[in-house]
């Protein structure tokens, strides 16, 4: 079960003390334990409009988020409640209840703007809660949306200055879905005498007026911003008053039978919509956000606001990617080390065995890295992982070699123990002793070679051992009275040839081992390239989906404009769609170029199948 299931009540995520925002460490620490994707639903709205009650119902509880029954805002800062998602297994639903906007006691509209801004930046679904009706006054109270372009930037580079006009239409790619909840709604859902849906009611309220004078521009501005920033389809739910006026003060203690049936029905429809249609929180580039990443994201944005700078989506993604990719390298390296630790217990082993295990766990480590990493466009972190694994492997090779040397030396020592005793007893010092010595030594060498699992140093240790015993053999040779001077010369020649043959065998073994390691390394590189290509394609697909949603939203807006005979606005939207498609194509080309230039292992390798001319 997810760690989120342990959160029995909400905790503060962002404190707001005397107008200063601060992320709560306990909340970030809790989020760091959630490694599954999160669906983040934020509710914003004017103070005392009943936001907290809705969030409690989404959590499946009657109480939790504080409900206020006085004229002051009850919730301060941003409070968080993490619960297992009721409809999506393996996901966590993160509910963010924000401080009521426009609190008379606070008197700081800038602070309200940042609270609204954070709700937009952190959520995948934004719920705006208001009371009464969606009239011009209600839309004007949502003036915070007009200020979003001053408080959030998409790109941080100097080049972004050249795209400032285009950037306005790109917010829809990255902003959350938008749901407007109207509480205490008493009107009939009718427009010009015709029954309409709640969504139709919202779109009617956001309808633009024709004209270019200041009055019309001021009227259209908040509506145009909502249309520009939040993707279609936008949703609306209207709620009647939940209970009689005398029962409103104790709303969270009321039983369902004490609530108005139509209110319960609206609450059920609202919750079903959120559960089924709210998507996983993603960041620029389409990467899915986990609880851990959400905590980092909150810290990055709040720290930026506190520093007096404007939060930037691109900067946040880069900072988040750096943090996550460093962790991904550490976790992937741990996967490799854990696997190879088991192999280490079997030392000494052959070159084929150690390179095969190295290849296997290196591939698993790369897969673990790819699962967690994102936006490693220059291959900086995947190469760091490769370098770390290579360093570990060099140490393992040395340890395996030393283990082999110890085993082989001990084996030769044991095998020669009987022969050493005979040597001490002088059995080889008599006539014919050299022949007897050579027969015994050769038999031991044959027995040594038959012994299995000696490891990589078997021939090297044998060569060293025979060289060390060379003077001993020569001494016995010259003490043997049975041999003539010519016999001694011939035996010396044979001894030298035997040692040379042994050296050649050692060299041959090393060449074979070197070839085996080169082949294994080649296969490892090919596997890494394959995994990089799969990751590249996955991120490309995520960006494509991100762009498709934005374009689909703009096309829906355009069709609506055409239906309402607002050709000028439709033409502008058409231009925005063209710009979105063009910028998307340019970005993909740039990423394909980066992928081609990414160094992997030795040389610069291009992910298989990547062709810049194939980018749509």
- What is the pLDDT, as a whole number, of residue 550? 67
Beta-strand runs (E) in 226-306: 235-238, 282-283, 287-288
Domain boundary residue, one of 311, 333, 367: 311
Domain shared by 394 and 524, yes or no: yes
Closest CA relative to residue 460, chosen from 400, 409, 527: 409
Element (H, E) at 488: helix 485-563
Domain shared by 158 and 75, yes or no: yes
Residue 320 belongs to a domain: no
Domain that holds residue 397: 325-616
Domain shared by 389 and 281, yes or no: no
Q: Which residues contact 514 (CB under 8 A, 6 or more apart)?
A: none
Q: Which residues contact 462 (CB under 8 A, 6 or more apart)?
A: 408, 412, 445, 448, 449, 502, 506
Residue 565 pLDDT exceeds 60: no
Tokens of 539: 């991120």
Q: Give dist(CA 121, CA 174) in Å, integer.
A: 9
Residue 430 belongs to a domain: yes
Place of tokens 């790369």: 366
Domain of 605, CATH number, reads: 1.20.1000.10
**pLDDT bucket at 295, cuts 50 / 70 / 90:** very high
- What is the pLDDT, as a whole number, of residue 472? 87
Residue 40 phi/psi, 5° resolution?
A: -110, 120
3-class secondary structure, 13 = strand
Domain shared by 329 and 300, yes or no: no
Beta-strand runs (E) in 106-252: 125-131, 177-183, 190-191, 194-195, 235-238
Rounded-to-10 torsion of CA 301, 304, 306, 309: -130
Q: At what angle do helices 485-563 and 470-479 cross, to 10 degrees?
A: 160
| CB neighbours of residue 471 within 10 Å | 9
Q: Are strands 78-84 and 11-17 parallel, antiparallel or unpaired?
A: antiparallel
- What is the pLDDT, as a whole number, of residue 554? 66
Closest CA relative to residue 351, chosen from 455, 239, 441, 452: 455
Domain shared by 438 and 361, yes or no: yes
- What is the pLDDT, as a whole number, of residue 1? 40
| % pLDDT > 70, the chain | 79
Domain boundary residue, one of 285, 311, 337: 311
Domain of 52, CATH number, reads: 3.40.50.300
Q: List helix spans (H) across 180-290.
A: 198-205, 214-229, 261-277
Domain shared by 236 and 210, yes or no: yes
| % pLDDT > 90, the chain | 40
Mean pLDDT, residues 322-348 taken together: 95
Element (H, E) at 51: helix 51-58
Domain shared by 306 and 354, yes or no: no
Domain shared by 303 and 338, yes or no: no
Determine contact, residues 237/266, Cβ cutoff 8 Å: yes
The number of residues in the chain equals 616
Q: Give dist(CA 266, CA 313) in Å, integer.
A: 35
Residue 152 belongs to a domain: yes
Element (H, E) at 181: strand 177-183
Residue 319 belongs to a domain: no
- What is the pLDDT, as a whole number, of residue 417? 92
| pLDDT 10s digits, 134-156 | 988 889 888 888 888 788 888 76
Residue 316 belongs to a domain: no
Determine contact, residues 126/230, Cβ cutoff 8 Å: yes
Domain shared by 345 and 472, yes or no: yes
Percent helix / strand / coil, the chain, rounded to 5: 60, 10, 25
Domain boundary residue, one of 311, 338, 370: 311
Q: Give dist(CA 237, CA 551) in Å, integer.
A: 25
Considering only residues 316 and 562, tell me which one the structure prediction assigns the higher pLDDT. Answer: 316
Element (H, E) at 552: helix 485-563
Residue 317 belongs to a domain: no
Would you give the end-to-end CA distance of the chain in angstroms? 42
Residue 518 pLDDT exceeds 90: no
Residue 119: exposed, middle, or buried by beta-carbon count in 10 A (0-12, 13-18, 19+)? buried
- What is the pLDDT, as a whole number, of residue 71? 36
Domain shared by 302 and 367, yes or no: no
Q: List helix spans (H) across 416-484.
A: 417-424, 433-450, 458-468, 470-479
Closest CA relative to residue 357, chosen from 343, 373, 345, 378: 343
Domain shared by 610 and 467, yes or no: yes
Domain shared by 57 and 34, yes or no: yes
Residue 305 belongs to a domain: yes
167-171, 320-324, 473-477 — most confident range: 320-324
| pLDDT 10s digits, 412-459 | 999 999 989 988 888 888 888 888 888 898 899 999 989 999 999 998
- How many domains does the chain contain in total? 2
Residue 275 belongs to a domain: yes
Closest CA relative to residue 237, chosen from 291, 207, 197, 206: 197
Rounded-to-10 torsion of CA 325, 328, 332, 334: 120
| CB neighbours of residue 34 within 10 Å | 22
């Amino acid at each position: 079960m997810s760690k989120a299931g342990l959160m029995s009540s909400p905790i503060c995520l962002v404190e707001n003390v005397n107008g200063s925002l601060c992320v709560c460490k306990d909340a970030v620490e809790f989020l760091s334990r959630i490694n599954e994707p999160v669906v983040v639903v934020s509710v914003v709205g004017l103070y005392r409009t009943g936001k907290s009650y809705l969030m409690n119902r989404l959590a499946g509880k009657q109480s939790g988020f504080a409900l206020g029954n006085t004229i002051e805002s009850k919730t301060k800062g941003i409070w968080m409640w993490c619960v297992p998602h009721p409809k999506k297994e393996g996901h966590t639903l993160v509910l963010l209840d924000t401080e009521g906007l426009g609190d008379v006691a606070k008197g700081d509209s800038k602070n309200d703007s940042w609270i609204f801004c954070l709700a937009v930046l952190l959520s995948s679904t934004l719920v705006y809660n208001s009371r009464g009706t969606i009239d011009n006054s209600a839309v004007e109270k949502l003036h915070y949306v007009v200020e979003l372009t001053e408080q959030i930037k998409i790109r941080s580079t100097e080049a972004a200055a050249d795209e400032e006009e285009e950037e306005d239409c790109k917010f829809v790619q990255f902003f959350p879905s938008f749901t407007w909840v109207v509480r205490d709604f008493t009107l009939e859902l009718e427009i010009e005498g015709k029954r309409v849906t709640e969504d139709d009611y919202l779109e009617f309220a956001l309808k633009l007026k024709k004209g270019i004078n200041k009055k019309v521009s001021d009227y259209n501005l908040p509506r145009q911003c909502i249309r520009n920033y939040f993707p279609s389809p936008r949703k609306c739910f209207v709620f009647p008053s939940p209970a009689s006026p005398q029962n409103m003060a104790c709303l969270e203690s009321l039983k369902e039978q004490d609530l108005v049936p139509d209110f319960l029905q609206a609450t059920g429809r609202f919750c079903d919509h959120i559960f089924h249609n709210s998507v996983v929180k993603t960041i620029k580039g389409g990467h899915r956000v986990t609880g851990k990443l959400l905590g980092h994201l909150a810290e990055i944005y709040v720290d930026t606001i506190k520093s007096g700078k404007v939060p930037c989506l691109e900067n946040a993604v880069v900072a988040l990617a750096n943090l996550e990719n460093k962790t991904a390298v550490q976790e992937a390296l741990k996967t490799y080390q854990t696997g190879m630790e088991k192999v280490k217990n079997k030392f000494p082993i052959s070159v084929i065995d150690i390179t095969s295990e190295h290849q296997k766990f290196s591939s698993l480590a790369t897969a673990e890295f790819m699962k967690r990493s994102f936006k490693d466009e220059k291959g900086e972190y995947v190469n760091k992982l490769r370098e770390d694994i290579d360093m570990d492997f060099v140490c393992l090779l040395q340890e395996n070699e030393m283990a082999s040397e110890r085993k082989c030396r001990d084996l030769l020592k044991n095998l020669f123990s009987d022969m050493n005793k005979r040597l001490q007893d002088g059995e080889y010092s008599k006539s014919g002793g050299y022949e007897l010595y050579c027969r015994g030594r050769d038999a031991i060498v044959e027995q040594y070679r038959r012994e299995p699992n000696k490891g990589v140093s078997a021939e090297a240790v044998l060569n060293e051992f025979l060289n060390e015993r060379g003077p001993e053999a020569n001494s016995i040779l010259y003490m043997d009275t049975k041999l003539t001077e010519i016999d001694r010369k011939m035996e010396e020649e044979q001894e030298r040839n035997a040692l040379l043959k042994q050296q050649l065998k050692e060299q041959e073994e090393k060449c074979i081992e070197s070839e085996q390691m080169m082949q294994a390394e080649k296969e490892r590189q090919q596997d890494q390239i394959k995994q990089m290509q799969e990751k590249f394609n996955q991120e490309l697909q995520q960006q494509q989906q991100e762009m498709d949603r934005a374009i689909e939203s703009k096309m829906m807006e355009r069709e609506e404009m055409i239906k309402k005979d607002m050709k000028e606005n439709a033409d502008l939207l058409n231009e925005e769609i063209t710009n979105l498609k063009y910028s998307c194509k340019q970005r993909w080309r740039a990423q394909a170029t980066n992928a081609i230039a990414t160094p992997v292992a030795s040389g610069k390798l291009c992910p298989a199948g990547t062709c810049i001319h194939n980018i749509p």
